[in-house]
Chains A and B, each alone.
Chain A
């Protein structure tokens, strides 16, 4: 068992609870122990891009102190911080880079956080759970599979923040492999499609849901045309825009039916033969169960 600090972020505790439940259950199978700090705070969800903005880097950096505290108490084995949400991953990683590359901002951040007992060293490594899986090795994932995902034609959807900007992303920006490798290890069929790196509309879903539905429809349609019967994602906002927002898409595009969208960890839990609490498909919209029963991966 390797023990890592696990940073859930806000949405993993609410609308993306199925993402968290499936991750914790399937990581246990692989001997990955995800330790959640007793307290953590919102990362801010987006990286502050203005050069003079220091304030918005405080929230992400404060979470890194929690990692160093856990390490000091010997509750984790390294200074890696494992994230699931693509927005958290991106924001935390970029804030950490700012902290380590800008000595002026570093000093300001230290000064403002003078009441923290531990002074952040800058040495926490922000990782995504997919990167941990790649490090552990796809063979190890493959060895844990009890129910290969036969019959699922899976379109890997990356979105923006797992891959961009260059140097921040978890894989090659233009030609990523990491979700494909996972799908293959789980015994599923990878369906390559043109829109896997295209933005789903992100936070415009709040005030511009029609425009977001246009983008999401494009993505889903491309995946379908390429032969997919399910999409897999690693971001709770992508999942929302591509999944629950399909009711909005159907209003704008009456000929569009539906296609299930699930988190990659839900497919892991399914392939590892874990129970319904671990796969947690009941929270997904549209319901993936008709497809999963049709291909014989779930019983009615």
Chain B
């Protein structure tokens, strides 16, 4: 659990939800279609590594909670598209996760660094692993 925990104050006013609009624009999705059925979360293979379930992240975006950008979840998503084929409302949740990552990465944030790896690990890993890792998690 991250530090903001369970006590959250919503400052959402209708018509002033810039954050949601930005996420919708960047992802090409309409998060308001989500009715919180949880199919995405139940099919996600990485939930044990996440602080918020994918469906919760969608809810946070609906409510304009920029705290979603501080979640571990957006970096744990590996765009396997399991949620996307399950969503009964046709939301491409992986696109929403990408938009959230991009909003952080575009402020010159690097979530990971190859400097943490030993030369042996770098030699052994397939290139596609390293390139996709860097593409998704660094600015």
A3 interfacial contact with B, CB 8 Å = no
Write out, one digit per residue, whether chain A residues 154-169 have a CB within 8 A of any chain B CB (1) or not (0): 0000001100111000
| Chain A facing B: main interface SS | loop
Across the interface, B28 reaches (CB within 8 A) one of A51, A201, A202, namely A51
Give the docked Cα–Cα distance between A127 and B26 (Å): 29
Residue of chain A at shortest CB distance from B80: A199
A230 interfacial contact with B, CB 8 Å = no
| Interface contact B80-A205, CB-CB below 8 Å | no
| Interface contact A49-B125, CB-CB below 8 Å | no
Interface positions, chain A 197-220, Cβ under 8 Å from B, are 197-199, 201-208, 211, 214-215
Shortest B79–chain A CB gap in Å is 7
| Interface contact A50-B98, CB-CB below 8 Å | yes
| Interface contact A45-B128, CB-CB below 8 Å | yes
Residue of chain B at shortest CB distance from A56: B135
Residue of chain A at shortest CB distance from B116: A207
B5-13, B31-39, B42-50, B52-60 - the one binding chain A? B42-50
Give the docked Cα–Cα distance between A161 and B95 (Å): 15
| Interface contact B45-A14, CB-CB below 8 Å | no
Interface size on B, residues (CB 8 A): 39
Residue of chain A at shortest CB distance from B29: A51
Across the interface, B85 reaches (CB within 8 A) one of A10, A49, A164, A202, namely A164
Task: Decide yes or no: A165 and B48 within 8 Å by CB, A203-B78, A207-B133, A237-B126 being known contacts.
Answer: no
Across the interface, A165 reaches (CB within 8 A) one of B45, B85, B99, B131, namely B85
| Interface contact A44-B84, CB-CB below 8 Å | no
Residue of chain B at shortest CB distance from A173: B85
Write out, one digit per residue, whether chain A residues 53-82 have a CB within 8 A of any chain B CB (1) or not (0): 000100000000000000000000000000
Task: Decide yes or no: A50 and B81 within 8 Å by CB, A87-B128, A206-B133 being known contacts.
Answer: no
Inter-chain contacts of B125 with A (CB < 8 A)? 15, 205-206, 240
Interface positions, chain A 15-63, Cβ under 8 Å from B, are 15-16, 42, 44-46, 49-52, 56
B94 interfacial contact with A, CB 8 Å = yes
B127 interfacial contact with A, CB 8 Å = yes
Task: Decide yes or no: A237 and B128 within 8 Å by CB, A173-B85, A202-B78, A203-B136 being known contacts.
Answer: yes
Q: Which of A46, A85, A206, A237 has the most CB of B within 10 A?
A: A206
Residue of chain B at shortest CB distance from A168: B81
Residue of chain B at shortest CB distance from A90: B81
Shortest B58–chain A CB gap in Å is 15
| Interface contact B132-A166, CB-CB below 8 Å | no
Task: Decide yes or no: A49 and B128 within 8 Å by CB, A160-B82, A203-B133 being known contacts.
Answer: no
A188 interfacial contact with B, CB 8 Å = no
Interface positions, chain B 106-139, Cβ under 8 Å from A, are 112, 114, 116-117, 124-133, 135-137
B102 interfacial contact with A, CB 8 Å = yes
Inter-chain contacts of A237 with B (CB < 8 A)? 126, 128-129, 132
| Interface contact B135-A44, CB-CB below 8 Å | yes
Inter-chain contacts of B129 with A (CB < 8 A)? 202-203, 205-206, 237, 240
B27 interfacial contact with A, CB 8 Å = yes
| Interface contact A206-B80, CB-CB below 8 Å | no
A148 interfacial contact with B, CB 8 Å = no
Inter-chain contacts of A207 with B (CB < 8 A)? 112, 116, 133, 137
| Interface contact A45-B116, CB-CB below 8 Å | no
A222 interfacial contact with B, CB 8 Å = no
Residue of chain B at shortest CB distance from A87: B128
Task: Decide yes or no: A164 and B135 within 8 Å by CB, A51-B26, A205-B125, A206-B125 being known contacts.
Answer: no
Shortest A217–chain B CB gap in Å is 12
Shortest A233–chain B CB gap in Å is 13
| Interface contact A11-B85, CB-CB below 8 Å | no
| Interface contact A199-B130, CB-CB below 8 Å | no
Interface positions, chain B 53-101, Cβ under 8 Å from A, are 76, 78-82, 84-85, 92, 94-95, 98-99
| Interface contact A11-B126, CB-CB below 8 Å | yes
**Interface set of A (CB-CB < 8 Å, partner B):** 9-11, 14-16, 42, 44-46, 49-52, 56, 85, 87, 160-161, 164-166, 173-174, 197-199, 201-208, 211, 214-215, 236-237, 240, 244
